[in-house]
Structure 1
Amino acid sequence: MSELETLNWQDWDSVLVVVAHPDDAEYGLSAAVKEWTDAGIEVSYLLLTHGEAGIQGLDSAETGPLRAAEQQTACDIVGVNNLTILDHPDSMLVYNLELRKEVAREIRIRKPNAVVLSNFEVEAYGGLNQADHRVAGLAGIDGTRDAANPWAQRELLDEGLQPWITSLIIITGHDEPTHTMDLNPESVAAGVASLEAHKRYLEALPHHPKPVEFIPEVLRTENGFAKTFRVFGV
């Protein structure tokens, strides 16, 4: 692996995280989010589903609100003030123009310097990636471009939402990162707590490693802690 560049984020005003499910932002990314919010950056989350298919043995009508509440707690821990959850079906997320428009709408509302997406490669996280993750990533890229294009998603102009050009698309959880950012121990601890906030979800996964054990290990470097990303200019 070539030497990673340092992610220069200190001049940002706003970040939008676009993911498929509750808990998707809590596997290391939320520690970086804590760094950003502590520095005064407005970080918003856009979830495309409520994750209602995520707890086996629990009815989806109960699971969706439960997971949304756990996500809100996780957001509170790392200083995320804006949480938007769309109503697309968990595990059956479909890529289409409407989904792109919903992403573009949130971008025009939040006006982020960077849009952060989860890894959406077919092979990811040590196996074959989940379908919703793949759809969310592609919709995130194309929605970011739609948000900047005055000729795309024209209905958003009727809503009074003007085009917004985002500077960077950032991929978290990628096997071939290009950039890194240092993390302090307090941010790592907040990242652990944000994943622990998904209590009922984790209880349904008895073989899931304990957040307090594996999150610091994922972020640990020779000199402390850091989060890596694959970064693209838009």
Structure 2
Amino acid sequence: MPEDWSRALAVVAHPDDLEYGCAAAIAAWTDAGREVTYVLATRGEAGIDTLEPEKCGPLREQEQRASAAVVGVDTVEFLGHKDGVIEYGTALRRDIAAAIRRHRPELVITLNHRDTWGGVHWNTPDHVAVGRATLDAASDAGNRWIFPELVEQGLEPWNGVKWVAVAGSVQPTHAVDATPGLERSVRSLLEHRTYIEVLTSEDPETYCRTFLTGNAQAVAERFGGKPAVAFELFSR
């Protein structure tokens, strides 16, 4: 992965998306003094069948903030789109472009934007919409004539995004050594305990450790034998 950057913005659909996808890399980056900010399209309020959205949303937001803190991320923003029915379009692109202009990152991170996970599992519409909108918004943010109302709000164009890194891609091109941040990535995912305890009957820590370690090891063969977090990197 490129190292000549100081600020990153991670844009995903739901609480836990980054923890399942790339928190070990984020821990390594913040350890190195880089600034990483999280932007989530939703609060994940539709993610737990046994918990009404009005109760679920605030709880998952709280868990996400705690989870981010474990890997050194202090700023977590929520865009307020409705969980489960995010629509790709100009409204979503505008919100993400505004976030890019606010935070002025060189690196933008998102999650798999393709229809499937390796042709085996169908991706969710939320992931697809947010991932694709993020790739587009990286360009939108630098063009003053797209969403000119953002300039009126004091958000000047930012054309400084050099790369968009897609976590969870089945076509990875780059990787980050997961070893330094792996333990914290486990603790970070564990902060989503309410969600995890509904998702699996397995011990939560065992579940998190097995999942994240397995993913990192699966990448190792392709990237020099080291456990890693893989990304598909798009240059701009």
TM-score (norm. length: structure 2): 0.92
Per the alignment, residue 182 of structure 1 pairs with 177
2:121 to 123, 127, 134: 127
CA contact (8 A) 1:117 1:171 kept: yes
CA distance in 2, matches of 1:196, 1:15: 23
Q: Please give the secondary structure, in 2, of the residue aligned with 1:210.
A: helix
1:86 Cα offset (Å): 1.5
CA distance in 1, matches of 2:201, 2:139: 39
Q: Give the 5 Å matches for 1:62-73.
A: 62-73=55-66
More strand by share: 1
Q: Please give the secondary structure, in 2, of the residue aligned with 1:56.
A: coil
* 186-195 vs 208-217, which moves further: 208-217
2:110 to 110, 117, 135: 117
1:183 Cα offset (Å): 2.7
**Equivalent AA in structure 1 for residue 173 of structure 2:** T
Q: Please give the secondary structure, in 1, of the residue aligned with 2:227.
A: strand
CA contact (8 A) 2:21 2:111 kept: no
1:172 to 134, 158, 167: 167
- Structure 2 gap segments, 5+ residues each: none
Does residue 224 of the first structure (1) align with residue 219 of the second (2)?
A: no
CA distance in 2, matches of 1:178, 1:224: 15
Per the alignment, residue 199 of structure 2 pairs with 205
* Identity within the alignment, %: 38
Q: Please give the secondary structure, in 1, of the residue aligned with 2:5.
A: coil
Per the alignment, residue 99 of structure 2 pairs with 106
1:226 Cα offset (Å): 1.2
Does residue 150 of the first structure (1) align with residue 152 of the second (2)?
A: no
TM-score (norm. length: structure 1): 0.93
Per the alignment, residue 4 of structure 1 pairs with none
1:28 Cα offset (Å): 3.9
CA contact (8 A) 1:28 1:219 kept: no
CA distance in 1, matches of 2:178, 2:18: 16
Per the alignment, residue 74 of structure 1 pairs with 67
CA distance in 2, matches of 1:136, 1:154: 21
CA distance in 2, matches of 1:135, 1:224: 32
CA distance in 1, matches of 2:86, 2:21: 24
CA contact (8 A) 1:73 1:197 kept: yes
CA distance in 2, matches of 1:86, 1:108: 14
Per the alignment, residue 51 of structure 1 pairs with 44
CA contact (8 A) 1:28 1:218 kept: no
The Cα RMSD (Å) is 1.4
**Equivalent AA in structure 1 for residue 78 of structure 2:** I
1:207 Cα offset (Å): 5.3
**Equivalent AA in structure 2 for residue 121 of structure 1:** R
Q: Please give the secondary structure, in 1, of the residue aligned with 2:199.
A: coil
**Equivalent AA in structure 1 for residue 136 of structure 2:** D
The structure 1 segments of at least 4 consecutive aligned residues displaced by more than 4 Å after TM superposition are none
Deviations 1:35-88 (A, max 9, x none): 111111110011000100001111110000000000001000001111001111
